[in-house]
Structure 1
Amino acid sequence: MHAPDRPPSDARPARLILTLSLAATVGLGIGRFAYALVLPDMREDLGWSYSAAGFMNTINAVGYLAGALVASRLIQRVGWAAAIRGGTLACVAALATCALTGNFIALSLARLVLGLGAAAGFVAGGALAATIAQSRPERANFLLSLFYAGPGIGILASGLIAPFTLQYFGPGSWWVVWWALTLLSVAMTIPLFLIRIESGARFSEGSHAAFAILPVLIYLAGYFLFGAGYIAYMTFMIAYVRDGGGGAAAQAAFWSLIGLSAFVTPWAWRGVLALDRGGLATAIILGTNALGAALPMLGHSPAWLAVSAVVFGVAFFAVVGSTTAFVRFNYPPQMWPTAIAAMTISFGVGQTLGPIVVGAITDALGSLSYALNVSAALLALGAVAALCQRKVGPEGRMANSE
């Protein structure tokens, strides 16, 4: 399969990539992460354990993993635009379902569909954004960072909406929040249909080249650990803030700081993302991410939690961008969609296991502090693994299958 030849000539690269990022805004920023904002109210109203609450993000991650597995074939079958738009529309429909029912099975299916749709939009949008960025080599890393700021927009917007909605309508109003987030997602989906995002995608039917896992196994392991580690923080930190006495304003401020951090990412890590030295860039960013996750262990004051949110957020959004930069540096353009999908699958397996395992640990030990300890440890191990990754030579890029 080959990446698109070139971006459409009728749109500026930055504007086009920002528009593509709305698929990640809806699928990830709102579809996946906003769940943390309503989790405490849903858990109390519906009588869930922490394991059950964690399962809702696990099933979402299962859908994301399944979507990543079939993303390349989906793009080949329906095209880039249809994959991005269709995946985002599926997310909107699933968000509406979350507002309509408190049934555990129905909610699980909705979270599953959210994962599937998010993966389609993210893999297709990420590969297309990488190609667009490559058309401006001198600004490639900055342009690519714009796409990965997309989830931050969703996190910021949902952080400003959900806590105050819950405060206004009172306990048991989690379904009102889902309606508000559904309407927000509809508004954010519209621009994807107003500009041309299709480009000349070509697929090579006769190619027998396959992505070789072994040369990047340690890097994939690091990305797996990132998936398992970050999701514990992003699933349970709002509950941790609330349990510590933080009201709607504190929850909104904490979550919004994570979202706002995404907008700093393109500038904060521009030099690091330009490092063509194997997994070094990812290791630096992931180490910073681990530090942010560990900070709440050192204090519970609002100021300290704010520092944690900023440090975690600035690095969190850059980790995914660093893996795409790694793919761009180490593989030819025709392999980008397959390589990005492989990275996403490794990440997806990690975030599938993370929430339910950490939820079970919390149920068993009785404190959310343990969730943060596990999160920080996994992220630190991921940084060490990424540090061990060297550049991939031509002989390690493909495995021929006859």
Structure 2
Amino acid sequence: MATDTPVNPKDTDRARTLAGFAITVLLTSFVAATYGFGFYLFAQIVTDMREDLGFGYTVVGTVTAAGQLGFLLFALLGTWLSTRVGAGYVTIGSAALCGLCLVLVPVTDSIVVIGILLTIMGGTAASVYVPLVEIVGKVIDYRHRGKVLGLISSGTSYGVVVNSLLVPAFVGGGNWRGLWYCVGLGTLMTTAVATFTFLRLGLFRGDDGEPGHAPEQSGERDEPAADSARAGWRMVLVRWVVIVWIIKFLNGFACMPFQNYLSPYLREEQGFDIHSAAQVWGVIGFIGMFAGFAVGWLSDRIGVRTSLLLCYAMFFVSAMLLVLAPVHFLPMVSGVLFALAFYPIYGLVPAYVSKSASGAAATVIFGVTNVTQGLGGIVGNYTAGFLKSATGDFRWYYVVIAATTVVLGFLATRLPREGSPESAVGKQPPPSRVDKDLAHA
């Protein structure tokens, strides 16, 4: 008579660790590809593409704006699809679509077609990111989610670094098309590996055999998809969720213009040369490679709320240095503080959501945050441009940024402790099959 083979706890722990490591690497790679390649590569080689294809900066501005619009639309679409077909399908589909668009860009000489492809890639940066909190909630143990999501949020830095290494090799030889092929094929290969991994971990199926809902490993179980999604859309009635949405709006309002206008502010208004401004940006990118993981690790020990307060304090000092003393080495100090705050912030908010909500409800909550962040960036960039036109000085927007960080710090103190009963959304008692499923994954 057949009997069930006992599951060795050590084997279960080993399987859980390997699964967590694989998912972390793959999701970080997806963010690196969709943001670093799909969102920022065009900006790095636009000069060479303009010389070859013959389009002007009006077209560049239009394409960039279209990419932002794609981000907003796909944030909504990704949220809607995740609650219906599952987070795993949306993540893999978004990465594959990004890789396909990357490969198709060098095939055509039509800037209209390229603009459409870049708009879609801008969208995949949102739709690949929206389901991450649900996937991390299924595979990563509760006590490690902060550091994992912090590392994933730094994926943009890794993508930009890869771009910086590849651009001279390809573009220096006049082969900008080969660069698109290279990053596109690399993205598609990573997606293939991720598809196999997701299948092995059951991220395309549910606990009851339905697609898209694998059991959580942290001792939690998702509600049925439809119920969890409806709960997510009703989050407008939950105080802490509204606070998170406002925080993400203000993050976009302050962080995006800080980056966009930093170089013009230093070079045009403060007299720094291009090399000094580039050094500041280089330091920001280098620190961003590690800051997300480091502060995420800290948040797993001292709490997400406290870590957010720390980041907003550094962000405040960074902005005030540019307002009061943008001289000598102080802009570099400002850049260091900005990098230490900026990249972790984009991992801390999903970490808070992942530790406070689960399943499709978490996906809906986080999906809306991406929309509010995009809207905040649009409003912030417009406000910065308006203040520059009205006053002739970018300095005043950095004053606005400093004031915004004070508001953000206050809002962070209004959040309930992550994982507390007050913040819990979409959770049910733990299932009995979790360890067995992971042990055989």
TM range (shorter): 0.7 to 0.9
Q: Does 1:154 align with 2:125?
A: no
1:282 touches 1:387 (CA, 8 Å); kept in 2? no
Deviates more, 1:313-322 or 1:143-152: 143-152
When normalised by structure 2's length, the TM-score is 0.70
Aligned-partner residue type, residue 246 of structure 1: I
Aligned-partner residue type, residue 272 of structure 1: S
Instruction: State the Cα distance separating 1:254 from its structure 2 match.
Output: 2.2
**Aligned sequence identity (%):** 17
Q: Does 1:281 align with 2:303?
A: no
Instruction: State the Cα distance separating 1:25 from its structure 2 match.
Output: 0.6
Q: What RMSD over aligned residues (CA atoms) do the two structures have, in Å?
A: 4.1
Instruction: State the Cα distance separating 1:154 from its structure 2 match.
Output: 1.2
Determine the C-alpha separation between the residues in 1 that align with 2:50 and 2:333.
27
Q: Does 1:245 align with 2:273?
A: yes
CA 1:81–1:389 in 2, change beyond 3 Å: closer, same or farther? closer
- The aligned residue for residue 69 of structure 1 is 76
Aligned-partner residue type, residue 236 of structure 2: I
Determine the C-alpha separation between the residues in 1 that align with 2:42 and 2:264.
11
Residue in structure 1 matching 2:361, options 328, 335, 343: 335
Residue in structure 2 matching 1:355, options 381, 399, 404: 381
Secondary structure of 1:12's match? Answer: helix
Structure 1 residue ranges without an equivalent (≥5): 1-6
Secondary structure of 1:209's match? Answer: helix
Residue in structure 1 matching 2:289, options 242, 256, 262: 262
Q: Does 1:187 align with 2:189?
A: no
Matches within 5 A, 1:363-378: 366=392, 368-369=394-395, 372-378=398-404
Determine the C-alpha separation between the residues in 2 that align with 1:163 and 1:32.
19
Q: Does 1:116 align with 2:116?
A: no
Q: Deviations over 1:342-363 (max 9, x none)?
A: 3222222212333344345445
Aligned-partner residue type, residue 221 of structure 1: I
CA 1:62–1:245 in 2, change beyond 3 Å: closer, same or farther? same
CA 1:149–1:395 in 2, change beyond 3 Å: closer, same or farther? closer
Residue in structure 2 matching 1:346, options 349, 372, 389: 372
Aligned-partner residue type, residue 347 of structure 2: G
Aligned-partner residue type, residue 291 of structure 2: V
Determine the C-alpha separation between the residues in 1 that align with 2:105 and 2:316.
31
Determine the C-alpha separation between the residues in 1 that align with 2:381 and 2:402.
14
- The aligned residue for residue 143 of structure 1 is 148
Secondary structure of 2:225's match? Answer: coil
Aligned-partner residue type, residue 229 of structure 1: A
2:350 touches 2:366 (CA, 8 Å); kept in 1? yes
Instruction: State the Cα distance separating 1:24 from its structure 2 match.
Output: 0.8
CA 1:355–1:378 in 2, change beyond 3 Å: closer, same or farther? same
Determine the C-alpha separation between the residues in 2 that align with 1:66 and 1:232.
21
- The aligned residue for residue 429 of structure 2 is none
Instruction: State the Cα distance separating 1:76 from its structure 2 match.
Output: 4.6
Q: Deviations over 1:281-314 (max 9, x none)?
A: 323323323433444442254x434333322122
Aligned-partner residue type, residue 154 of structure 1: G
Residue in structure 1 matching 2:318, options 282, 292, 315: 292
1:55 touches 1:356 (CA, 8 Å); kept in 2? no
Give the aligned length.
Answer: 380
CA 1:335–1:259 in 2, change beyond 3 Å: closer, same or farther? farther
Aligned-partner residue type, residue 299 of structure 2: V
- The aligned residue for residue 272 of structure 1 is 299
Q: Deviations over 1:360-402 (max 9, x none)?
A: 5445655555555554444443333333334587577679xxx
Aligned-partner residue type, residue 161 of structure 2: L
1:127 touches 1:336 (CA, 8 Å); kept in 2? yes
- The aligned residue for residue 4 of structure 1 is none
Q: Does 1:209 align with 2:231?
A: yes
2:149 touches 2:348 (CA, 8 Å); kept in 1? no
CA 1:232–1:107 in 2, change beyond 3 Å: closer, same or farther? farther
Determine the C-alpha separation between the residues in 2 that align with 1:206 and 1:15.
30
Instruction: State the Cα distance separating 1:70 from its structure 2 match.
Output: 2.1
Aligned-partner residue type, residue 147 of structure 2: F
Deviates more, 1:21-30 or 1:210-219: 210-219
Deviates more, 1:111-120 or 1:10-19: 10-19
Greater RCO (CA < 8 Å, at least 6 residues apart)? 1
- The aligned residue for residue 89 of structure 1 is 96
Matches within 5 A, 1:91-106: 91-95=98-102, 103=111
Instruction: State the Cα distance separating 1:218 from its structure 2 match.
Output: 3.0
Instruction: State the Cα distance separating 1:232 from its structure 2 match.
Output: 1.2
Instruction: State the Cα distance separating 1:82 from its structure 2 match.
Output: 3.6
Determine the C-alpha separation between the residues in 2 that align with 1:164 and 1:372.
37
1:286 touches 1:382 (CA, 8 Å); kept in 2? yes
Instruction: State the Cα distance separating 1:336 from its structure 2 match.
Output: 1.9
1:358 touches 1:374 (CA, 8 Å); kept in 2? no
